[in-house]
């Protein structure tokens, strides 16, 4: 060995600890498959901007002047707990700005005229969550920390796909512009995440409504694309057929929550997205009255009895139900994680048929929202599908709908699934 080579060896040996140190700091997660997160309902923050076309409804006088006057640029519409705390008169106004309108000519939903909206920080997880201490850790905040704990880094191999939770997928042939835009953005995000990580395929991790959206996304992506870009799909707290508690439309609106205020939530395309699926709940009576029982098959009639218009009921049938019934195997390796062992509404009793009153709730098993029937149906609707060759369903006892992404033990198991997916060939 000549002296030059010896010098090189010494230099390299001397540099080694430094090199390892910088690896640990800089590219700690090098070698990990990139993760893309889709959060649950109401977890994506939305900004809004008003145009000259905007005319405040008479029901939202606070939108006329006051705090909104002079709001020229983008401002945080959802979730803006702080602004609503400081000025409760803004609640009816923000409820109005969040409302969706269905345009029968375009056959699609859009914002109230004069309101523009956008999700915050697409591509990152920074637009998840809220400034409301009461809902801290319900939107993957702790999952992000846990993934960072095993080497994931925001913008390097950890990405977020926030979406406007008011919009829903529609079946082929029906317009759903906002949702289609989201699918395109998600496709691009996954491709870029892969490219930034040496063309490694991506692990999708979703919570609740995010899982329904990801399922539609995967089923509408060509199989070759899925095989190339999706390493694993970890679907957390999403059943195969919704939950009974969502049949509860009555109750008094919260004066502090713009989503429930003046039934804003009823105007969303997602209002019916997770209603019980006939495929899962069959003919079992889910709502009981003296005169009549309603099963999942009777939902159109039930919606009518709850004051929804003929048009709204028709949209449930033509738009939502098709998507619900089409819930099927994504044909990529998949792990479902769900909580069980928590009291979950199984039947709602409105004995006198007054759906505005509080029902007597008969509880069964589930995660507090999603019924165990819906969770177990994942085995038959996805696991048993011959196209689905890698499927695992993890049931975590005593764990709620949100506990799956916030309880320490549940999080540990979730992160373990991500690491295991990384090790799979
Ligand atoms: C159901 O899913 C399949 C693909 O899995 C798709 O080809 C079909 O168009 C979907 N139908 C509806 C109504 O969404
Ligand atoms: C990733 O794939 C693209 C084409 O699909 C190729 O051009 C590129 O060189 C690949 N990058 C790496 C790091 O393998
Ligand atoms: C409704 O369902 C309940 C519980 O399953 C049953 O006892 C009752 O007979 C049913 N009532 C009607 C009107 O079908
Ligand atoms: C669930 O929690 C209850 C009460 O906290 C406890 O008695 C029970 O052992 C727990 N079950 C499991 C499976 O952890």
DSSP, residue by residue, 258-312: TTTGGGGGGGSGGGGTTSPPHHHHTT---EE-SS-EE-GGGHHHHHHHTT--HHH
Res 5: pLDDT: 40
Res 56: pLDDT: 79
Query: For residues 201 and 389, what is the distance between their CA atoms, to the nearest angstrom?
Result: 18
What angle do helix axes 177-195 and 209-219 make, rounded to 10 degrees? 80
Q: Is residue 75 part of a domain?
A: no
Contacts of 26 (CB under 8 A, 6+ apart): none
Q: Which of 281, 282, 285 to mutate to test the pocket of ligand 3 (most atoms within 8 A of CB)?
A: 285
Res 272: pLDDT: 97
Q: Is residue 410 part of a domain?
A: yes
Res 254: pLDDT: 82
Which residue out of 367, 374, 406, 407 is catalytically annotated? 367
Q: Is residue 160 a contact partner of residue 126, using CB atoms and an 8 Å limit?
A: yes
Is 207 a catalytic site residue?
A: no
Which residue out of 33, 207, 232, 401 is catalytically annotated? 401
What angle do helix axes 408-423 and 141-149 make, rounded to 10 degrees? 50
Res 66: pLDDT: 59
Closest C-alpha residue for ligand 3 atom 9: 293
Q: Shortest CA distance to 289 belongs to which of 211, 352, 367, 206?
A: 352
Query: For residues 413 and 408, what is the distance between their CA atoms, to the nearest angstrom?
Result: 9
Return the structure tokens found at 7: 């010098």
Q: Is residue 83 part of a domain?
A: no
Q: Is residue 106 part of a domain?
A: no
Our answer on whether the CB atom of 409 is closer than 6 Å to any ligand 4 atom is: no
Q: Is residue 136 part of a domain?
A: yes
Q: Is residue 223 part of a domain?
A: yes
**255 lies in which domain range?**
33-45+120-423
Is 208 a catalytic site residue?
A: yes
Residue found by looking up tokens 């003046």 in the block: 262
Q: How far is the CA of 195 from the centre of ligand 2 (A)?
A: 7
Closest C-alpha residue for ligand 4 atom 8: 398
Helices (H), 87-128: 90-98
Query: For residues 164 and 182, what is the distance between their CA atoms, to the nearest angstrom?
Result: 8
Q: Which ligand 4 atom minimizes the distance to the CA of 397?
A: 13
Our answer on whether the CB atom of 397 is closer than 6 Å to any ligand 4 atom is: yes
Our answer on whether the CB atom of 293 is closer than 6 Å to any ligand 3 atom is: yes
DSSP lists the bridge partners of residue 397 as 340
SS3 state of residue 220: coil
Q: Is residue 337 part of a domain?
A: yes
Closest C-alpha residue for ligand 1 atom 10: 326
Query: For residues 317 and 309, what is the distance between their CA atoms, to the nearest angstrom?
Result: 13
Query: For residues 125 and 161, what is the distance between their CA atoms, to the nearest angstrom?
Result: 7
Residue found by looking up tokens 């057929």 in the block: 241
Ligand closest to CA 318: 1
As for how many domains the chain has, the answer is 1
Res 251: pLDDT: 78
Written as one string, the DSSP assignment of 362-391 is EEESBBSSSBHHHHHHHIIIIIT-TT--SE
Our answer on whether the CB atom of 229 is closer than 6 Å to any ligand 2 atom is: no
Closest C-alpha residue for ligand 4 atom 2: 398
Tens-digit pLDDT string for the chain (425 aa): 344 443 333 333 333 333 333 333 344 566 999 999 999 999 999 999 998 888 877 777 778 765 676 677 999 999 999 999 998 888 999 999 999 999 999 999 999 999 999 999 999 999 998 888 888 899 999 999 999 999 999 999 999 999 999 999 999 999 999 999 999 999 999 999 999 999 999 999 999 999 999 999 999 999 999 999 999 999 999 999 999 999 999 877 788 889 988 789 999 999 999 999 999 999 999 999 999 999 999 999 999 999 999 999 999 999 999 999 999 999 999 999 999 999 999 999 999 999 999 999 999 999 999 999 999 999 999 999 999 989 999 999 999 999 999 999 999 999 999 999 999 98
Q: How far is the CA of 196 from the centre of ligand 2 (A)?
A: 10
Closest C-alpha residue for ligand 3 atom 5: 285
SS3 state of residue 202: strand
Our answer on whether the CB atom of 199 is closer than 6 Å to any ligand 2 atom is: yes
Using CA atoms, how far residue 52 sits from 55, 77, 116, in Å, is 8, 18, 11
Is 385 a catalytic site residue?
A: no
Q: Which ligand 3 atom minimizes the distance to the CA of 293?
A: 1
Q: Which of 340, 343, 398 to mutate to test the pocket of ligand 4 (most atoms within 8 A of CB)?
A: 398
Q: Is the peptide bond before 155 cis (omega within 30 degrees of 0)?
A: no
| CATH for 191 | 3.40.50.1820
Which residue out of 130, 208, 237, 406 is catalytically annotated? 208
Backbone angles phi, psi at 184, to 5 degrees: -65, -45
Query: For residues 73 and 113, what is the distance between their CA atoms, to the nearest angstrom?
Result: 16
Q: Is residue 289 part of a domain?
A: yes
Query: For residues 190 and 184, what is the distance between their CA atoms, to the nearest angstrom?
Result: 10
Buried b or exposed e, range 228-260, using 16+ CB within 10 angstroms: ebbbbbbbbbbbbbbbbbbbbbeeebeeebbbb
């Amino acid at each position: 060995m000549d002296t030059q080579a010896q010098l090189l060896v010494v230099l390299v040996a001397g540099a080694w600890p430094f090199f390892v140190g910088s690896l640990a700091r800089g590219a700690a997660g090098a070698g990990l498959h990139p993760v893309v997160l889709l959060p649950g309902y109401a977890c994506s923050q939305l900004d809004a901007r008003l145009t000259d076309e905007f005319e405040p409804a008479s029901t939202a006088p606070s939108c006329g002047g006051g705090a909104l006057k002079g709001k020229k640029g983008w401002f945080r519409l959802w979730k803006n707990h702080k602004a609503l705390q400081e000025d409760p008169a803004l609640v009816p106004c923000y409820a109005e700005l969040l409302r969706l309108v269905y345009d029968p000519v375009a056959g699609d939903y859009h914002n109230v005229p004069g309101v523009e909206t956008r999700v915050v920080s697409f591509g990152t997880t920074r637009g998840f969550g809220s400034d409301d201490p009461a809902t801290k850790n319900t939107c993957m905040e702790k999952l992000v920390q846990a993934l960072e704990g095993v080497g994931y880094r925001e913008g390097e191999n950890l990405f977020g796909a926030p979406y406007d939770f008011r919009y829903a997928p529609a079946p082929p042939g029906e317009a759903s512009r906002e949702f289609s835009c989201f699918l395109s953005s998600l496709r691009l995000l996954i491709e870029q995440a892969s490219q930034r990580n040496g063309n490694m395929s991506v692990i999708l991790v979703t919570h609740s409504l995010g899982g329904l959206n990801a399922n539609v996304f995967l089923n509408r992506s060509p199989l070759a694309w899925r095989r190339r870009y999706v390493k694993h799909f970890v679907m957390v707290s999403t059943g195969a057929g919704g939950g009974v508690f969502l049949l509860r439309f009555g109750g008094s609106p919260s004066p502090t929550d713009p989503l429930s205020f003046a039934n804003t939530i009823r105007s969303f395309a997602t209002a019916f997205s997770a209603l019980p699926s006939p495929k899962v709940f069959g003919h079992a009576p889910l709502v009981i009255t003296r005169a009549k029982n309603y099963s999942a098959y009777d939902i159109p009639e039930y919606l009518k009895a709850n004051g929804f218009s003929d048009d709204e009921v028709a949209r449930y049938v033509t738009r939502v139900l098709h998507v619900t019934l089409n819930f099927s195997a994504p044909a990529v390796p998949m792990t479902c994680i769900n909580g069980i062992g928590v009291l979950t509404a199984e039947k709602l009793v409105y004995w006198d048929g007054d759906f505005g009153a509080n029902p007597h709730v008969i509880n069964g098993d589930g995660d507090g929202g999603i019924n165990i029937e819906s969770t177990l149906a994942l085995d038959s609707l996805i696991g048993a599908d011959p196209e689905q060759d890698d499927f695992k369903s993890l049931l975590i006892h005593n764990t709620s709908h949100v506990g799956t992404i916030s309880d320490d033990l549940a999080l540990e198991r979730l992160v373990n699934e991500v690491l295991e997916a990384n090790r799979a060939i």
